[in-house]
Amino acid sequence: MLFETALAHAIARARALRRELALLFIDLDRIAHVNHAMGMDFGDRVLAEAALRIAQILGPQTRPTRLGADEFVALRQVEDFAAATRVAGSVIERCREPYLVDCLTIRVTASIGIALYPSHAQNAEGLMERAERSLYRAKIAGRDCFYPGGATCSGGTGLPPRTARG
């Protein structure tokens, strides 16, 4: 409920400033496998490190919020859609770097759905739905990529544009 309130306030602010607001829906790929193989405490440390990495990319004025077991959301004012995709690509690249936990090196990737206010939705609920749907498409496309909320796929493949791979 707290994030939904923050999202509504961010949309109101973007509307007043006539700015674009990007919602990034970030999912750590296959973290359940890490939890199963190494234990929940180990997986939680990977999640904490991933959150730090995401926060470093987003900068001091944008904090990722953990929504679920392996999901984060982040809001960021951007100049345009290209800026949002650059941020998503940077998050993917940073999350792809090896994680060192308890002297073990593991690799985890991220998939991201992107939605922009006002381009893709006019309200909080619509923006969340669009970003979540885009995340699902990134997962279908093979993970470790982002899928822009406004993209259309030719031929009904469900694959993101080639530039979406981080």
Catalytic residues: 70
Q: How far apart are CA 117 and CA 10, in angstroms?
A: 10
**12 HSE (CA, 13 A, CB side):** 6
Beta bridge partners of 25: 73, 113
Neighbouring residues of 137: CB distance < 8 A, sequence distance ≥ 6: 113, 147, 158, 160
DSSP string of 4-66?
Answer: HHHHHHHHHHHHHHT-EEEEEEEEETTHHHHHHHH-HHHHHHHHHHHHHHHHHHH-TT---EE
